[in-house]
Chain A
Amino acid sequence: MSKRIDVKDLNVYYSKFLAVEDVNINIEARSVTAFIGPSGCGKSTFLRTLNRMHEVIPGARVEGEVLLDGDNLYDSAVDPVSVRGQIGMVFQRPNPFPTMSIRDNVLAGVKLNNRRISKSDADSLVEKSLQGANLWNEVKDRLGRPGSGLSGGQQQRLCIARAIAVSPQVILMDEPCSALDPISTLAIEDLINELKSEYTVVIVTHNMQQAARVSDKTAFFNIAGTGKPGKLIEYGDTTTIFNKPAVQATEDYVSGRFG
C-alpha cells in the first residue's frame, strides 16, 4: 500500500503570482525523498500541492499534472477530500487536536472515512498506529488523557500515528522536526526509516544533515531572487546530491556556501 508520484510540468500560482515554476519529478514508492533549499524557494508550497492542501489558501491554483500511480490528482472529477485521505500530511508544528484524547486523536481520520468501527478494532488500530509511530510504550497507560499534555516530540509522533492510522499511500512531512529538540528529532528520523518499508515518504527539511541521514533521493529547490518563482534545480540520489552534484548552485548550497 504505497504508490509512486509523478509530477509533470507543474506550475503553482497564488492568484497571479507564480510561486513554483515547471517542476518535473518522479518519486518512487517505498522510498524517502527529501526536498531541500533556502527559505521561500517553494519547497513547502510544492509539497502541499502533492495532496492539494495548498488549495486551503484562497487564490492558490496549479497548472500541470500530479500522478499518483498514473491517476491525476488534478483531474476535474477528483475531490480534494479523497486525495487527502490517501496522501497524509505531518506539519511543521505538532498539531494534535487539543480537545481530543490521545486515543481519539489517532482515530480522528478513521472516523471520517468509515464512521462505524467496533471498539476492539479501534483498540487494535490505536495500538498498531501508535506502535508504528514509536509512541505506544510512552502513552499506553494514558490513552484517555489529552494529546496536548505530551511533549513536543511525542505530539509530533502522535500526529504521525494519526496520519498512518488511515493507511495512506503517501506521507508528506513539512519540516516535521524543526520545532523539536535533537533527541526527539532522532526519534522521528528513526521512525521515517521504518516508515519507508510501507509508505512513500516525502519530507521537506531545512536541515541538510537530516536530508542526508534519512532520504534515498534529494531534490534541491532554489529561487533566483525575491519575487521570482522557485524552481527544482537538481534531483537525484542523496549521495550524489551531497557528494557530486551536477549543478554549481547545489554544490554551493550543500557545502554551506550560501543559504
Chain B
Amino acid sequence: MTGPAPGQVTAPEIDRLEGKDVSTNSLKASTDRGRAGDKIFSGISLAAGVLILAVLFSVAVFLLVQAAPTFVADPAEVTGGNGFTAYILPIVIGTVVAATIALLIATPVGIAVALFISHYAPRRFSRAFGYVIDLLAAIPSVIYGAWGYIVLAPQLAKVYTWLAENLGWIPFFTGPASQTGKTMLTAGIVLAVMVIPIITSLSREIFLQTPNLHEEAALAMGATRWEMVRMAVLPFARPGIISATMLGLGRALGETMAVALVLSPGALVASLVKSGNQTIAAEIALNFPEAFGLRLNELIAAGLVLFVITLIVNMIARFIITRHQEFSGAN
C-alpha cells in the first residue's frame, strides 16, 4: 500500500480542514452489500403476511355482507319457514357429527400408521409406505366420494342392517337401516379415509423429529419400544398431533364432494344408519347452482357459520397447545 507522499494533503484532510464531519472509524462505513437483500426479504415477507390477512378479511367481509339479508328477513321466508336458526341448526349438527365420526376414526388410525412408519417398520419398507400414504392425501375428494358411493356404501348397508337389528336400542343405530348405505356413518367413514393420510403424513414427520436423546433416555431406563414411544415420542409430538388433527378436521368440516355423493340428505335424525342429516358444505354445493335472492344469502350465511365453526375449533386447538407450552421442551 502506498500512502500519500509527505507534505501532500489528502482528500480527507481537506474535508477536515474545511470542518466537514469526517470519521476515521472504518466500522462506520456503510456496507451496502447484504443490506439490500435484508430489506427486500423483509419487504417480501411483510407483503406476504399482509396479503394473507387481506384475503382472510375480504372473505370475512364478503360472507358478512352477503349473509346479512338472511338475518333480517322475515322468518317465514327462510327455507323451512321458521327462520335461519331453525334452518341452520340441523345442518350444523350434521356437519359436526360427520367431522366427529371422521376424527374419532382417523386420529387413532392415523397416529398408529405414522408410528408404524416412523418407529416400527423396517427402514426400507417404511419409506415406500410413507410415499404411498402421501399419494393417498393427493387423491381428489370426488374420487373418494365415488368410491364411497359405489363400493363402500353397499357393503356397509349389510352392517347397518345388522346394527339396527341388534343394537337398535342405542339411538345412533335405530332402524330401519338404509338399504343403500348412504348414511351419516358412511359419510363419516369416507371422510375418515380422506383425513387419515393428512394426519399420518404430518404425525410421521413430527415423530421422526423426536430427539434421539430422549428416545435413548427412555430405552436406557429399560423401557420397551412402546413405553419409549409413550414416554418420549408422543409427549414430544403432542402439539404436532393436535395441529395435524386440526388440519384433518378442517378437511372433514369443509369436505363437499365426498359427502354430497355418499350421503342421501334429509332431516336431522339421531340414527347414523338411516338416511337423513346433512352437512353445511354439501348443503351449499347441492343448492348453490339454482339459488338466487334470499336463498343465495341463506347459503352464504351457512358458509359464514362454517367459517365461524372452523375458527372456534382452531382457537380451542391453539389454546390446548399453548396451555402446555411450559412443558414442551422449547425453553
A85 within 8 A of B: yes
Whole-angstrom distance between the Cβ of B79 and the nearest chain A Cβ: 50
Name B326's closest neighbour in chain A (CB-CB).
A146
B223 within 8 A of A: yes
Whole-angstrom distance between the Cβ of A19 and the nearest chain B Cβ: 18
Q: Which 9 A/B pairs are nearest by Cβ-Cβ distance?
A: A98-B329, A85-B222, A99-B235, A109-B221, A89-B220, A95-B213, A84-B222, A95-B217, A99-B327
With A58-B123, A85-B222 already in contact, the answer to whether A100 and B216 are too (CB < 8 A) is no
Whole-angstrom distance between the Cβ of A163 and the nearest chain B Cβ: 7
Give the CA-CA distance A68 to B231 in the complex, in Å: 28
Q: Are B235 and A109 in contact (CB under 8 A)?
A: no
A/B pair count, beta carbons within 8 Å:
82
A97 within 8 A of B: yes
Most B CB within 10 A of own CB, among A82, A85, A99, A162:
A99
B251 within 8 A of A: no
A112 within 8 A of B: yes
Chain B residues with Cβ below 8 Å from A86 are: 222
Give the CA-CA distance A196 to B218 in the complex, in Å: 24
Q: Are A163 and B216 in contact (CB under 8 A)?
A: no
Whole-angstrom distance between the Cβ of A57 and the nearest chain B Cβ: 10
Give the CA-CA distance A148 to B223 in the complex, in Å: 21
Q: Are B222 and A113 in contact (CB under 8 A)?
A: yes
Give the size range of B's interface with the partner: 20 to 34
Q: Are A95 and B216 in contact (CB under 8 A)?
A: yes
Q: Are B231 and A108 in contact (CB under 8 A)?
A: yes
Chain A residues with Cβ below 8 Å from B224 are: 81
Q: Are A53 and B222 in contact (CB under 8 A)?
A: no
With A56-B216, A91-B213, A91-B217 already in contact, the answer to whether A109 and B331 are too (CB < 8 A) is no
Chain B residues with Cβ below 8 Å from A88 are: 220-221
Name B227's closest neighbour in chain A (CB-CB).
A112
Chain B residues with Cβ below 8 Å from A96 are: 217
Give the CA-CA distance A148 to B221 in the complex, in Å: 19
Whole-angstrom distance between the Cβ of A188 and the nearest chain B Cβ: 17
Q: Are A163 and B329 in contact (CB under 8 A)?
A: no
Most A CB within 10 A of own CB, among B223, B235, B236, B324:
B223
Partner of B217, one of A113, A148, A159: A159
A-B contacts besides A97-B217, A146-B327, 17 pairs, CB < 8 Å: A56-B216, A58-B123, A82-B222, A83-B222, A88-B220, A91-B213, A91-B220, A97-B214, A97-B218, A98-B214, A98-B236, A101-B327, A112-B231, A146-B329, A162-B217, A162-B221, A166-B222
Whole-angstrom distance between the Cβ of B216 and the nearest chain A Cβ: 6
Q: List 16 A-B residue pairs with CB atoms under 8 Å apart, sorted by A's residue number.
A: A51-B220, A82-B222, A83-B222, A84-B219, A86-B222, A89-B220, A93-B213, A95-B216, A96-B217, A97-B217, A99-B236, A99-B328, A100-B327, A109-B221, A159-B217, A162-B217
Give the CA-CA distance A166 to B213 in the complex, in Å: 20
Give the CA-CA distance A91 to B220 in the complex, in Å: 9
Q: Are A112 and B222 in contact (CB under 8 A)?
A: yes
Chain B residues with Cβ below 8 Å from A109 are: 221-222
Interface residue ranges of A161-177 to B (CB < 8 Å): 162-163, 166
